[in-house]
Amino acid sequence: MRHAKHRHQLRRKKEHRLALMANMASALVRNRRIKTTLAKAKALRPFVEKVITLAKKAHVTEDKIQKLNYRTHALSRLRDSDAVNRLFQELAEEFVNRAGGYTRIYKLVPRRGDAADMALIELVPADDQGYSKRKPKAKKGSTSSEKSKPEIQPQEGTPEEEAKDGDTGEQTVVETEEATDSEADTPAEDDSEVGDSEAERSSETEGEEVSQEQSPEAMGAPVEEVDAKEEVNEEPVTAEEEVVDSEDDSQPEDSNETEPESDKADSENPGDTEK
C-alpha cells in the first residue's frame, strides 16, 4: 500500500518523473549548480542526496564488491556514466566529513510568462559552515532589565556557619528586649517635658492677649486716623492770635475772683437786699 507516497508528483507519471530526476541530477553533478522551478528543485534535493550517500559509502569501504554494488545503484539512478565517475572519484571525498545537507536552494523571482516560482539548487562546498543559528525571539512580557539581572542562587552554609547565624539571632533578640525596656522607662520624662512646654505656651498666649487688650487697636480707637486729623487741623498761629488767646485765658480767672466779693457784700448787708 502506498500511504504517504504522494510528494513531488510534478503532474507526471512514474517513468517520466524518474527520467526527469535522472537528467537533472546528472546535470547538477557535472555543473554543481542548475536553475529550475522551485517545485522541481525541492523534488531533486532528496533524490540527488541519496546518490551522494552511496558515493560516500563506497569511498569509506574497502570491499571491492561492495564498492561495485554502490556504483551500479548510482548508475541506475543517474543514467550517466560520466556523472557517476565524477561523483565517486571527486565529489565523494568532499562530503566524507559532512553528515547530510549536501545541497542548498535559493529562491528567485517568478518566471516571466507563466509566473512560475524559480530557484537555484547547488552543491554545498566542503568548507561551508552553513548559516548561523537564529537567536530565539524574546517574549512579549519580558524586558531588557530582567534579562540583564543575574540569577542569584541560594548557597547552602556549613554547620559552623549555621551555628554562628543562630548565635547572632539570639544576640539580636536580647538587643531588641533591651531597647523595649529603655523605651518603657522614657515615657515619664517625656510627659514632664511635654507638660512644661504646654505651660510655657499657655503663658505666652495669655501675655499676647493682655498686650492686645491694652493696645489702642483693641480699645477700638483709630490711632492712625486721629493723628492724621490733628496734623491736618494744625495751622500756623500769628502773634495777635496768641495775645487774644492769652486774654481769653485770663478773663475767667478775674470773674472767678470777683464773684466771691459780691457774695461777701450780700452776706454783710442782708437788709439791703430785703429792702
Average pLDDT over residues 226-249: 53
Cell of 235: 495751622
Residue 221 pLDDT greater than 50, yes or no? no
Residue 89 CA, distance from chain mean position:
63
Q: Are 148 and 142 in contact (CB under 8 A)?
A: no
Give the pLDDT confidence score for residue 135 in this predicted structure: 79
Going along the chain from its start, the domains and CATH numbers come out as 14-123 (3.90.1030.10)
Q: Are 119 and 80 in contact (CB under 8 A)?
A: no
Cell of 55: 558515493
Q: Which of 83-97, 124-138, 173-187 has the lowest mean pLDDT?
A: 173-187
Per-residue exposure over 251-266, b if at least 16 CB sit within 10 Å of its own CB, e if not = eeeeeeeeeeeeeeee
Q: Which residues pair with 122 in a beta bridge?
A: 33, 104
How confident is the model over 111-127, as pLDDT tens digits?
999 999 999 999 998 88
Question: H or E stretch including 119?
Answer: strand 118-123
Average pLDDT over residues 167-176: 59
Q: Which of 77, 71, 72, 76 is nearest to 89 (CA)?
A: 71
Question: H or E stretch including 34?
Answer: strand 33-37
Give the pLDDT confidence score for residue 232 in this predicted structure: 45
Q: How far apart are the first and last CA of the chain?
A: 181
Q: Which of 118-127, 195-204, 227-236 has the lowest mean pLDDT?
A: 227-236
Give the pLDDT confidence score for residue 164 in this predicted structure: 55
Percent of the chain with pLDDT over 90: 40
Q: Which of 19, 123, 135 is nearest to 80 (CA)?
A: 19
Residue 82 CA, distance from chain mean position:
67
Instruction: Give the pLDDT band of residue 229 (cuts 50, 70, 90).
Output: very low
Concatenated DSSP letters for 193-212?
HHHHHHHHHHHHHHHHHHHH
Write the CA distances from 167 to 4, 157, 256, integer angstroms. 73, 15, 110
Cell of 136: 530565539
- Whole-prediction pTM value? 0.49
Give the pLDDT confidence score for residue 223 in this predicted structure: 46
Q: Which residues pair with 76 in a beta bridge?
A: none
Counting DSSP H helices and E strands in the chain, the numbers are 12, 3
Average pLDDT over residues 76-85: 96
